[in-house]
Amino acid sequence: MQLGFKTLDDIDYIGKRILLRVDMNCSVDPKTKRITDFSRIEAVRPTLDELSKSKLVLMAHQGSPGSDDFISLEQHTEIIRDMGFDAIFVDDIFGQKAKEAIKQVKVGEILVLQNVRYFEGELKKASPKEVAQEPIVQELYPFFDFFVNDAFGAAHRSQASLVGFTTVLPSVAGRLVEKEVRTLTAATSTDKHPWTLVLGGSKVEDKVSILEKLLATGRVDNALLGGLIGTLFLIAASKVPESYSAPIKGFDAAIETARKLLTKHSDTLILPEDAAIDKSNRVDCDFTEMGGNPFLDIGQKSVKKFVGIIKKSAVVFANGPMGYFEEETFATGTMKVLRAIADCKGITVVGGGHMGAMAKKMHLDNQITHISTGGGATINFLTGKKLDLILALEESAKRM
């Protein structure tokens, strides 16, 4: 397959100072703030291995301001060290401390900069040229020979650390981005049906907008909804009262689109039929019996329905858990859906930090066609629109 961007094969990186952007946004225990799964760090090992002949500076985000998992990259650095690399951390992104540390990096060492989202300008989303004006890019790029982007999980975000450097440095994709693009291109080039999307988790505003685009392609036969996105649609369909919107960030912006989609795609959108709530232990019940208790998982009737559809599908893409999977009792819906995906004989892709980590924990990796590190990125890929990160790398390739 011909790629429109350049890769590590196209540059002479030996001995050079390289800025590497990765997505090592990991699941974090909301109480202890410890990383619970580091498969996204493992996923960039091939790139780290290959660049061990360079002076490597690593840049990444973790969570976003206000989220439970918005933590420093110190723990990530320890994990990289435990993986056998000579990694050190600097608590700075582009200030004097970071610059001094960057100058000192030796061949074979990895310097990890602080969480890029500690810098406000990183949250701005605009064209590569615009975000390249942010100080994170302007202050750092003169120190580097090449920019390598291996942050597939964030490939749909046009932010400074992801696309800005591609306008000022020769830029190529890392091995993970290359592998994801090749594998997802192969998986999406089938026209087999039924084609099923399993969508759960939070980031509701993002997901509704991408669902709208995906449904417009006409590719999706079934969209099974769980997690907070499922709750949004249940409210939109007046199956549960609006009071259940409390945990949904971006509810007001998303509800109208959800209503519109329900009118237009009523046969495709498949909502949960019951819920699991906590009454000192798990209780599966109809919506009328929830009594204001939070929606913590899809209930047994929903699981049965979702599993039946998944098993008969020719293609399944899944992203986002069905409920509060952090608690074992409420992980059942997500686990049964994953088991059905593993049993499905068609092409199956599971994406996103949470679902991917759980599939691996359940040892289902060998029964699923591809476990993608991308959640939002992978779903965006399915719409056929090129991801921002890829577009930026393609533009850079033209200039190189």
- Which positions lie near ligand 3PG, rule CB under 6 A? 23, 25, 64, 153-154, 157, 203, 353, 375-376
Is 174 or 375 the residue whose CB approaches ligand 3PG more closely? 375
Task: Report how far residue 199's alpha carbon sits from residue 249's, in angstroms, rounded to the nearest whole number.
Answer: 17
Shortest reach from residue 379's CB to ligand 3PG, in Å: 10
Which residue in this structure is represented by tokens 């970071």? 98
Phi-psi sector, 286: left (phi>0), alpha (psi -120 to 50), beta: beta
* Those residues with Cβ within 8 angstroms of residue 295's Cβ, 6 or more apart along the chain or in another chain: 230, 231, 234, 240, 244, 275, 276, 277, 323
Shortest reach from residue 25's CB to ligand 3PG, in Å: 3
What is the CB neighbour count within 10 angstroms for residue 96? 9
Instruction: Please give the backbone phi and psi of residue 302, each rounded to the nearest 5 degrees, phi first.
Output: -65, -45
> Tokens representing 25?
């946004």
Is 55 or 157 the residue whose CB approaches ligand 3PG more closely? 157
Shortest reach from residue 71's CB to ligand 3PG, in Å: 13
Closest C-alpha among 179, 180, 178, 210 to residue 197? 210
Is 201 or 346 the residue whose CB approaches ligand 3PG more closely? 201
Is 130 or 221 the residue whose CB approaches ligand 3PG more closely? 130
Is 148 or 379 the residue whose CB approaches ligand 3PG more closely? 379
| 153-159-161-163 Cα dihedral, nearest 10 degrees | 90
Q: Using alpha carbons only, what angle is made at residue 173 by residues 170 and 178, rounded to the nearest 5 degrees?
A: 155
Shortest reach from residue 273's CB to ligand 3PG, in Å: 28
Is 79 or 314 the residue whose CB approaches ligand 3PG more closely? 79
Shortest reach from residue 127's CB to ligand 3PG, in Å: 17
Which residue in this structure is represented by tokens 């996105």? 229
Half-sphere exposure of 37 (CA within 13 A, CB side): 18
Residue 299 three-state SS: coil
Query: Helices then strands (H, E): number in the chain?
Result: 16, 17
Q: Is the dihedral of CA 130, 382, 333, 252 positive or negative?
A: positive
Which residue in this structure is represented by tokens 């949470």? 354
Contact between 232 and 258 (Cβ < 8 Å):
yes
Shortest reach from residue 139's CB to ligand 3PG, in Å: 22
Residue nearest to ligand 3PG (CB): 25
Q: Which residue type is seen at 222?
A: N
Is 127 or 293 the residue whose CB approaches ligand 3PG more closely? 127
Phi-psi sector, 218: left (phi>0), alpha (psi -120 to 50), beta: left
Half-sphere exposure of 220 (CA within 13 A, CB side): 28
Is 346 or 374 the residue whose CB approaches ligand 3PG more closely? 374
Is 64 or 133 the residue whose CB approaches ligand 3PG more closely? 64
Shortest reach from residue 171's CB to ligand 3PG, in Å: 19
Shortest reach from residue 206's CB to ligand 3PG, in Å: 7
Shortest reach from residue 200's CB to ligand 3PG, in Å: 13
